[in-house]
Amino acid sequence: MTLEKIPTNHSHHSRRSHDSHHSKRDPHPNPVTKVNTGQASVDSTTTAWLAGHLNHLTPEQEEALESFKAVCIEQQLYTPAKDEVRASHDDATLLRFLRARKFDVNAALEQFRDTEEWRKANQIDALYENIDIESYDEARKVYPQWTGRRDRRGIPIYVFVIRNLNNKNMATYTSSASSTTTSATHASSKVPPRLLRLFALYENMTRFVLPLCSQLERPNPETPIVSTTNIVDISGVGLRQFWNLKGHMQDASLLATAHYPETLDRIFIIGAPAFFPTVWGWIKRWFDPVTTSKIFILSASEVKPTLSSFMDPTCFPKQYGGELEWEWGNQPSLDAPAKELAGVLDCVGERGDADYTTGERNGYVKGPVVWHGDRMEILGSVDGKERRRTIEVPKKRTEKVIGVEVPASDAATTAAAAAATQEANSGATENEKAIAPAAEASVEATTAGKTISAS
């Protein structure tokens, strides 16, 4: 089989795209970078970010995707869907590897193979499903945390406050990671416990946060959510602290680049000290050029207007000029659409065993959760024992997806189904209400081996 590099000219959409997806790039008035990161300004209005994503492919990119699938099948890295059995990897995941390598199929194959071998060698699925919930929560507090909110495109917003990672807190974390069992399945693992915990956090992003957000209403429901927007607060951090945290932060960035490509969207850096240009010199080496071009360093006067252009004020914390009551270390504060589908997680208690049917808030669940569209699984281990609980996602008897009546179990797995529910607008912000009608756009969704198409 001949594999070739596919040009990344994004001037044409795929045959599955529609003219309504075309938009002109509007210039943004705010030049926000004080350090040359490769991009001079931020534009919150363009849909150019959809280029190379599912349902926004050029014919050449679609051909590359099919070639990639074929060679992955040959090398037993990918199993296509058959009858009622889903594919081993969805198209959105495969496209992440292709975009990371500019649709060079050979290069994407190499990275995909390396990732599959890494996952197998480190038993990543078993790690996430069996990790001790306290170990997981300790790790959550030293890495970026999901706020429970999304930007105007529907992409989840994470916040990372660096000043809390002082020598004392990091020494305590390192000691705990070394002296406790992260997961019974990895008791004899040669991988440092701090890395095992980090792996689990990335799995939470890809197996819970991103698929949940893909199911919620947003401007382009035909394209799954596969990345995160990050606010990185480095205010009050000295040069010595930066240097001491170099290895900690480098672990996360290198892991993302190697095995979770294209999961970082925009990164907004807030509170940069005067010496930051010096620090930037070694930070930028952790990322590929495409990722560094999406990193923006904001001055104090640029924080609120820039974040507001990308996020509704109710979706980012008050300390950055927003309206969200959320502090570093808090569990996710789900927005109205997410709360409709996953709000039960705030009722089952930290251990995940509380009665949620009363609607009483018993505390947000700690540890790993997997989102399956029509149900969610609460996993991990508590006091050395497996935790397994399955909760059905609330839904109507049927959901109307773009004018097509389908069974609720199927509809619940599509982003458009969530957009169709009127309850999502109950108590929603003006921004959430505004983007809901946009989810009525044409969509092709594959659920349980069936394809629902409408236009």
Domain boundaries, the chain: 19-46+122-454, 47-121
Block residue for tokens 């001949």: 2
Alpha-carbon distance values, 250 to 139, 158, 179, 226 (Å): 15, 18, 23, 22
Q: How far apart are CA 132 and CA 185, in angstroms?
A: 10
Q: Is residue 439 within 8 Å of 393, Cβ to Cβ? A: no
* Cross-strand partners of 145: 159
Entry pTM: 0.79
> Each residue of 133-160: pLDDT tens digit?
999 999 999 999 999 999 999 999 999 9
Q: What is the largest CA-CA distance in the chain?
A: 60
Q: Is residue 288 within 8 Å of 96, Cβ to Cβ? A: no
| Residue 254: CA count within 13 A, CB half-sphere | 9
pLDDT higher than 70, residue 197:
yes
Q: Is residue 303 within 8 Å of 318, Cβ to Cβ? A: no
Q: Which of 30-34, 59-63, 166-170, 251-255 has the highest mean pLDDT?
A: 59-63
Block residue for tokens 């000043």: 163
> Each residue of 121-137: pLDDT tens digit?
999 999 999 999 999 99
> Each residue of 231-247: pLDDT tens digit?
999 999 999 998 899 88
* DSSP codes of every residue in 44-100: SS--GGGTTSTT---HHHHHHHHHHHHHHHHTTS----BTTBPPSS-HHHHHHHHHH
For residue 408, count CB atoms less than 10 angstroms from its CB and return exposed for 0-12, middle for 13-18, buried for 19 or more. Answer: middle
Closest C-alpha to 258, from 299, 291, 236 = 291
The answer to whether domain 19-46+122-454 and domain 47-121 are alike in fold is no
Q: How far apart are CA 108 and CA 98, in angstroms?
A: 5
Mean pLDDT, range 212-226, rounded to an integer: 97
What residue spans of 216-299 are helical by DSSP H? 239-244, 246-259, 276-283, 289-292
> Each residue of 396-445: pLDDT tens digit?
432 433 333 333 434 433 433 333 333 344 444 444 444 443 333 333 33
Q: Worst-scoring range by mean pLDDT, 64-68, 159-163, 177-181, 306-310? A: 177-181
The residue that leads in pLDDT, 215 or 291, is 215
CATH no. for 19-46+122-454: 3.40.525.10
Structure confidence at residue 252 (pLDDT): 83
Architecture (CATH level 2) of domain 47-121: Orthogonal Bundle (1.10)
Q: How high is the mean pLDDT of the chain? A: 81
What is the DSSP secondary structure assignment for residue 397, as one 8-state letter?
Answer: S
pLDDT higher than 80, residue 37:
no
The residue that leads in pLDDT, 24 or 334, is 334
Q: Is residue 196 within 8 Å of 183, Cβ to Cβ? A: yes
Q: End-to-end CA distance of the chain, in Å?
A: 35
Q: Is residue 113 within 8 Å of 77, Cβ to Cβ? A: yes
Mean pLDDT, range 103-132, rounded to an integer: 96
Structure confidence at residue 230 (pLDDT): 97
Mean pLDDT, range 23-49, rounded to an integer: 48
Interhelix angle for 59-74 vs 105-121, to 10°? 40
> Each residue of 340-378: pLDDT tens digit?
999 999 999 999 999 988 888 889 999 999 999 999 999
